[in-house]
Chains A and B, each alone.
Chain A
Amino acid sequence: MSDYSEKFDATGLNCPLPILRSKKVLSTMNSGDVLFVIATDAGSVKDFDSFCKQTGNELIESSESGNQYHYYIKKA
């Protein structure tokens, strides 16, 4: 498990809310800070990967545990 500076719980939210709300949290953070996101939307796995590729933020870790998806995003 990585260290993180902010955590966002997106459990129960469906597309596109996990991305939109995570983006909001990211915009309040500093470059280099890490956001930890927990989601339950299965579609978010590919979406967070695409979101990071297109925004330049780094997806440090994407993992599944139980019915939850965990993402660690380092702000560009």
Chain B
Amino acid sequence: MPQKKLALIATKGTLDWAYPPFILASTAAAIGYEVQIFFTFYGLQLLKKDLNLKVSPLGNPGMPMPMGMDKWFPTFATAIPGMEAMMSSMMKSKMKSKGIASVAELRELCQEAEVKLIACQMTVDLFDMQPSEFIDGIDYAGAATFFEFAGESDVNLFI
């Protein structure tokens, strides 16, 4: 049986959106897939050495809040300075208490499993980011490189 392939595009740089690409990639690799993730725009945050990912309640009516706050807390109040930091640290401690892996841990598992991580060169340049900000062992490339792998993949997802 030929090895299956999974191609992912990761475009978001928040704590909640960091999970889908790394969970799917690490699990697919464990099942035997060859996997590549192409990180573009805000997804580049997921490749930073210093992962300081946050989750924002602002403009996110689907986000559950503690103590039923989502029922009475006015939408505009989610813009109060400090709300984002508070919600992010609450989310992180909740994840830890439920035995959910950290993003850094899942990313390491991906690298151990030889998931290929590719940073979009165009957005690296656009945001004036430096390779020194990113973890080691990643590639820098463009859309054509993505299609070289995606074109022969069994599963392609845009996240």
A residues apposed to B, CB below 8 Å: 12-17, 19-20, 23, 41, 51, 54-55
Q: Given A54-B32, A55-B31, A55-B32, check contact A20 B109 (CB 8 Å).
A: yes
A to B CB contacts below 8 Å, 21 in the list: A12-B99, A13-B99, A14-B98, A14-B99, A15-B100, A16-B23, A16-B26, A16-B30, A16-B106, A17-B99, A17-B100, A17-B101, A19-B27, A19-B30, A20-B27, A20-B30, A20-B109, A23-B30, A41-B99, A54-B31, A54-B32
Chain B nearest CB, measured from A22 CB (Å): 8
Chain A nearest CB, measured from B25 CB (Å): 10
- A sample of 12 more A-B contacts (CB under 8 A), given A15-B23, A16-B106, A55-B31, is A12-B99, A13-B99, A14-B101, A16-B23, A16-B26, A16-B30, A17-B100, A17-B101, A20-B27, A41-B99, A51-B30, A54-B31
The binding surface of chain B is classed by DSSP as: helix
Interface size of B by Cβ–Cβ distance < 8 Å?
12
| A19: chain B residues within 8 A (beta carbon) | 27, 30
B residues apposed to A, CB below 8 Å: 23, 26-27, 30-32, 98-101, 106, 109
Chain B nearest CB, measured from A27 CB (Å): 9
